[in-house]
Amino acid sequence: MSGRLDTKTALITGGNSGIGRAIAERFVAEGANVTITGRNQSTIDEVASSLGDRGQGFRSDVSDMASHAEVVDKAVAKFGKLDVFVANAGIAEMIPFLETTEADYDRVMDINLKGLFFGVQAAVRHMNDGGSIVLTGSVVSVKGFPAFSAYSATKGAVRTLARVLASELAERKIRVNVISPGPIATHIFGRQGIERDFIEENFTQMVPLKRLGEPDELANLALFLASDEASYITGADFHADGGVAQV
């Protein structure tokens, strides 16, 4: 059976949970060799083993700048130079602006922005010309939801960064695009002790389609952008958000 990513090699940060996991599983199903990273060793092992011979996983904290080159080296050592890099690892913390401490600010910036920036830099150094970079953004880059100030600033910056990278890497035919989820049913808010019921009540009513999205609905977008079907698309931002930032 021929897949849409046959012969391609991908590295996905935050591939052991939620959206990143769905992307990893879809990529392998479509023929790619996939390396995932995350922080939690047991879920890394679980997902890597579910990916089979065409998957592997490593513990790597994106806020540790030295880890980026190490993980890219491991991915390349097993599967060869990268064709696709998905910078997906991220945290979301709801903190009112006036209560946001410097430590809160640094934590989200270090993971969502600085970690993504230097992750892409390490990946590009070992990427084939003609590759594809997919950055996980968010609808918050264009919507102003209360209590998401630092988080939204990171995602706005990710969207802006994509324009520059698309322009700068075009000479190597490397495409750079953003996938921007609306509220998706993952563990991201549960990690902060926010219950699923709270998310359903407070976010679902804002969504024209009146439901949370599923990780697979982002994997569909990432697959398209990673594949040669998106060969004329770069610098763009695609929202899978049930319409929340569109209507």
Ligand X SMILES: NC(=O)c1ccc[n+]([C@@H]2O[C@H](COP(=O)([O-])OP(=O)(O)OC[C@H]3O[C@@H](n4cnc5c(N)ncnc54)[C@H](OP(=O)(O)O)[C@@H]3O)[C@@H](O)[C@H]2O)c1
Provide, rounded to whole angstroms, the least separation between the CB of residue 88 and ligand X. 5
Decide: is 184 part of the binding site for ligand X (CB under 6 A).
yes
Provide, rounded to whole angstroms, the least separation between the CB of residue 67 and ligand X. 8
Provide, rounded to whole angstroms, the least separation between the CB of residue 19 and ligand X. 4
Decide: is 72 part of the binding site for ligand X (CB under 6 A).
no
- What letter represents residue 65's amino acid? M
The interface region with ligand X, picked from 17-25, 26-34, 68-76, 166-174 by CB under 6 A, is 17-25
CA distance 2 to 4: 7
Using CA atoms, how far residue 117 sits from 29, 55, 59, 203, in Å, is: 28, 24, 19, 29
Provide, rounded to whole angstroms, the least separation between the CB of residue 8 and ligand X. 21
Residue from 4, 31, 39, 153 that binds ligand X (CB under 6 A)? 39
The interface region with ligand X, picked from 14-22, 70-78, 122-130, 168-176 by CB under 6 A, is 14-22
* Residues between 85 and 144 that touch ligand X (CB under 6 A): 88-92, 111, 136, 138
Residue from 9, 17, 56, 227 that binds ligand X (CB under 6 A)? 17
SS3 track for 167-184: HHCHHHCCEEEEEEECCE
Residue from 33, 56, 63, 132 that binds ligand X (CB under 6 A)? 63
Using CA atoms, how far residue 177 sits from 122, 146, 153, in Å, is: 17, 26, 18
Residue 81's H or E segment, with its range, is none
Decide: is 35 part of the binding site for ligand X (CB under 6 A).
no
Residue from 11, 62, 76, 86 that binds ligand X (CB under 6 A)? 62
Short-list 8, 88, 83, CA closest to 47: 88
Residue from 35, 56, 186, 234 that binds ligand X (CB under 6 A)? 186
The residues assigned a catalytic role are 151
Provide, rounded to whole angstroms, the least separation between the CB of residue 224 and ligand X. 17
The interface region with ligand X, picked from 2-10, 38-46, 69-77, 226-234 by CB under 6 A, is 38-46
* Residues between 76 and 95 that touch ligand X (CB under 6 A): 88-92
Backbone torsion region of residue 80, taken as left when φ is above 0, otherwise alpha when ψ lies between -120 and 50, otherwise beta: left
Nearest-5° Cα angle at 27, 199 to 46:
65
Beta strands in the chain (DSSP E): 9-13, 33-38, 55-59, 82-87, 127-136, 175-181, 237-240
Burial grade of 222 (CB within 10 A; 0-12, 13-18, 19 or more): buried
**Contact positions vs ligand X (CB under 6 A):** 13-14, 16-20, 38-40, 43, 61-63, 88-92, 111, 136, 138, 181, 183-184, 186-188, 191
